[in-house]
Every structure is written in C-alpha cells, then in structure tokens.
Amino acid sequence: MIPAQFDYLAPSTVEEALAALAQHGDEAKILAGGQSLLPVLRMRLNAPEMVIDLGKITSLRGVRDDGDAIVVGAMTQHSVVGSDPLVAEHAALVSKAVEHLADVQIRHRGTFGGALAHADPAGDLGAPALALGAQFVIQGPGGTRTVPAEEFFVDLFETAIGEDEILTEVRLPKHTGWGAHYEKFVRVAHQWPIVAVAAAVRVDGGSIAEARVGLTNMGNTPVRAHAVEQALVGQPATPDGVRDAAARAAEGTNPPSDLNGDADYRRHLATVLTRRAVLTAAGATG
Amino acid sequence: MVRINLTVDGARVADDVEPRMLLVHYLREKLGKTGTVVGCDTSNCGACTVHLDGTSVKSCNVLAVQADGGEVTTIEGLAQDGQLHPVQEAFRECHGLQCGYCTPGMIMQSVDLLKDNPNPSEEEIRLGLEGNLCRCTGYHNIVRAVQHAAGAGGTQAAGQTEAVQA
C-alpha cells in the first residue's frame, strides 16, 4: 500500500511554487504537512503526476500579531498553533479545537492551512475558523486576494482556492476576552468527530452579549449556527438560559448519515453539544 | 529519483530515493533499521513512530524526501553505549508490553511526551499516547511504565493504576 509514482518538487519560495503549479496545472497536488494527502496517496484514491512540497518555504510558517487579527502562516503545524500564546489570548476557540485534533504525532506534522485547504467537513478547524470570521489569504499568478470564511468553504473537500493558487495565511479576527470551547463527540479518541461544536461567547454581567457558533460535520461544509447566535444574545449564561437557543442548532443543516449515526441522530447531537459548548465557553457548568 | 541527505540515529546518510517512498520504508529497507515497524499502514496505530527534528511523527505518514536535511531518531538510536534509555528500561521493568509489536512506537511517543511534560498525570499519559494502539490492550502496564520512567514511583503508580481498574 504505497503511493503510485509521482514527480516531486520542493520549492523554497511561494513564487517558485506558483510557477510549478502553473506549469503542471491539474496534474499537480500541493503537499503541506501531508497528514491527509499521504493517506489519500497511499490508498491510491488520488494519483497526481507531480507533488509540490511547501515544506521548505519558511515564510509560510509562524504566528504573528497584526493589529485587529492574529495571522497564522498556512504551513504552521497544529502543535505550534495549539501552544501559541497569541492564539490562546485572542483566538482561544482555535486553541481549543487544535488541542484534541487527531493525535500528537499528527499535530506535529499537520498544518493549519493544509487542514483548512483539505476542507474535510469532519475536520476540526473549519467550524472555529467560520465562527471567528477568519479571512483566507490566497496567492496566485495575479497577486494576492482575501476570501472570507463563508466563501472559502465551497463543498465537500472543495474551497475557493483556484487550481493555480496557494493558501498562504489565515487571519483570525481578535476575540480577546471571549470564552471559547470546542465540544467534540467521538467514538475513538483520535478519530474525526461524529459532530463537534465550536462556540465563542462574550459574557457581560452574567449575560451573553455576543456569540459565535460553528458546527463540524453537519453538512458538506462547516456550518455557522446563526439562529443559535441570535437567540443567545441577552440570555443569562446558565443552563436554563442557553437551552432554548441551543435547541435551534440543527436549523438549516444537512448532516450526513453513515455508520456512526444517521442525520437525525446528528441533528440531536448538535443541539446537545451546542448547549455544552456554549455553557463551557461561558464559564458555566451544565 | 531525488537525492536526500539526513541524519539517522546520529549517522549522516545520503541516498537517491523515489519521491513516493515512505520514511518508514526508507528506514527499514534502505537502512535496515527494522526496529521501526509497519503496523497499520493507515497512520492510525503509531507503531512506526520515530522522531523527526525532535518531535514524534508517524513515519508511514511522511515521505522520505520530506525528511531531507532533517534529523531522525528511531527506537534503535535511543540506547547509548549499551545502556537502555530510561523509558526502555521502564517498559522492561513494568512489563509494558505483551506481544511487543506496538512497543517501538509506544516508547518513542512516551519519550516525546516526557520531553514536553516530565511529570504527566495518568490522564495526560493516556492522552499523549492516544495515537498509539496496543491490540493486546496492554495499556495499563504501558501507562505504569511511563509513570515509572517519569520517576512517579513504580509501586505507588502501580497501586494507583489498580485502584482505577477496581
């Protein structure tokens, strides 16, 4: 079970990578940390003729403070994002989601941008990125453009990144002082969530002043639970205050049915996990 | 073929490899380091865990070409001057194995865990080893071995583990 043959390039700049991509077109596949791509290649679900490895492009790694946003380089490993103090202070929802993403070894290799570009609806980063209103910086032959999260995720394993483009960084708008929690329901510790809920709330005087809620694996893309967010505003941060709002979590979703559970089961899970996520984010118990 | 230069268990090596060659196959088939085993081939089980540039990775989920310029430590590079690494010693002392197939990966991941957290709780050990599967289900003694290696105390740790089981 090894991959089919492919040619390999490891450019040292984004410009070189874009040139290689332009030359090889849809015969090429971008390799970031490889923790999703290599299993795909090993199982021969995909057999690109050219693999372009971004691993030597050091400018794509790291986390920085840029005024109203924390900027995460696309090739920054999950383990680095998960322990970064800037992310923890200003985008805690991402820290919480990364904490239990896959397992330790995968977090050492897998990258923030790679996971988001892979756009697995069961991936742990899409819902937090969507909930926080992340901006995706994409570079192509014509220059750089920025795509908001709600336009980035297009469909199952499909994003707004064009065939001749590369995701270079993700801007996370600061949510300083917000409580955050990622509630993930799994059967086996390191597996993908059956459903997960990413919640960030700003509590003011015991009441929820603002809320952001994203759902994992409740459709072909991450889903923003707008109805829950609106219903939470003004509610006390208590089990009774949150329950009715959380009950709206599945509105407008189209979850899959598979061996782990059918769509109705997932809709039910979404409401329960949303209640837990919001209460934990708000510092309440329930 | 692509030329790679790397350090494996302290020795510099250079080879021409096919880009599709997995690091675990490079270690086993080119370098003869069969101490690192292939378990599941699907990046689930962690049996093939090695350290790449100081952190643990599943070597079935890394291409050999991605290790170019890097430093790899396998289970065969842990012992120094004939002395087992303390984590190896602890696995032997606590019988942290049954069939032994997952052991190289368990030990490599335990070394990584203790590097970041020298005094982990039982829960932290179980979470730190969540990417390593023991199909004999010998997890209790594996956890005890890590506690032993961390200096948590062999008999005390054993008592705690038994209390949890009960």
Which structural domain, as residue segments, surrounds residue B121? Answer: 86-165
CB A195 within 8 A of CB A270: yes
Q: Are A122 and A192 in contact (CB under 8 A)?
A: yes
Q: What would the pLDDT profile of A13-52 be if each residue is shown by its tens digit? A: 999 999 999 999 889 999 999 999 999 999 999 999 999 9
Would you state the pLDDT for residue B41? 83
Using one digit for the tens of pLDDT, what is the confidence trace for B39-72?
998 899 999 999 999 999 999 999 999 999 999 9
Q: B62 and B6: one domain?
A: yes
Across the interface, of A7, A34, A106, the residue whose CB is closest to B66 is A34
Listed residue (A165, A242, A164, A167) closest to A203, CA to CA: A242
**Partners of residue B131 in chain A, C-beta under 8 Å:** 102-106, 190
Give the pLDDT score at A284.
80
What average pLDDT does range B20-31 have in this prediction? 98
Question: Is the pLDDT score of B153 beyond 50?
Answer: no
pLDDT in tens, B97-144: 999 999 999 999 999 999 999 999 999 999 999 999 999 999 999 999
Q: What is the pLDDT of residue A2?
A: 87
Q: Is there a single domain that holds both residue B156 and residue B96?
A: yes
B64-96 pLDDT, tens digit per residue, is 999 999 999 999 999 999 999 999 999 999 999
Note whether B34 and B92 are same-domain residues.
no
Pair B155, B129 in one domain: yes
Shared-domain flag, residues B143 and B121: yes
Residue-range domains of chain A with CATH: 7-53 (3.30.43.10), 62-173 (3.30.465.10), 179-281 (3.30.390.50)
Tell me which of B56, B60, B115, B139 to substitute to probe the interface with A (most A C-beta atoms closer than 10 Å). Answer: B56
Name which of A2, A105, A186, A190 to mutate to probe chain B: the one with the most chain B Cβ atoms within 10 A of its Cβ. Answer: A105
Do both B142 and B110 map to the same domain? yes
Does residue A177 carry a pLDDT above 70? yes
- Domain-ending residue, one of B46, B77, B108: B77
Identify whether residues B97 and B139 lie together within a single domain: yes
Higher-confidence residue of B42 and A281: namely: A281
B contact set with A (CB within 8 A)? 2, 18-22, 25, 41-44, 46, 49, 52, 55-58, 60-63, 65-66, 68, 109, 112-113, 127-128, 130-131
Q: Which of B77, B98, B124 is the C-terminal boundary of a domain?
A: B77
What are the chain A neighbours of B128 within 8 Å (beta carbons)?
104
Q: Residue B80 gets which letter from DSSP?
A: B
Residue B77 is classified by DSSP as G
Residue B111 maps to which CATH number? 1.10.150.120
The amino acid present at A278, given as its one-letter code, is V
pLDDT number for residue A285 = 60
How many structural domains compose chain B? 2
Domain edge (last residue) among B77, B100, B130: B77
Instruction: Assess whether pLDDT exceeds 70 at residue A283.
Output: yes
Average of per-residue pLDDT values in chain A: 96
Q: In this complex, which of A7, A35, A104 lies closest to B56 when CB atoms are compared?
A: A104
Q: Does A1 touch chain B (CB under 8 A)?
A: yes
pLDDT in tens, A235-262: 999 999 999 999 999 999 999 999 999 9
Query: Has residue B164 got a pLDDT over 70?
Result: no
B68 and B90 share one domain: no
DSSP string, A91-149: -HHHHHHHHTSS-HHHHHH-BHHHHHHHT-TT-SSHHHHHHTT-EEEEEETTEEEEEEH
Average pLDDT over residues A151-162: 98
CATH number of the structural domain spanning residue B22: 3.10.20.30
Calculate how close chain A gets to B84, using CA atoms only, in Å.
Answer: 23
Using CA atoms, how far residue B11 sits from A47, B6, B7, B18, B73, in Å, is: 34, 8, 5, 21, 10
A186 has a pLDDT exceeding 80: yes
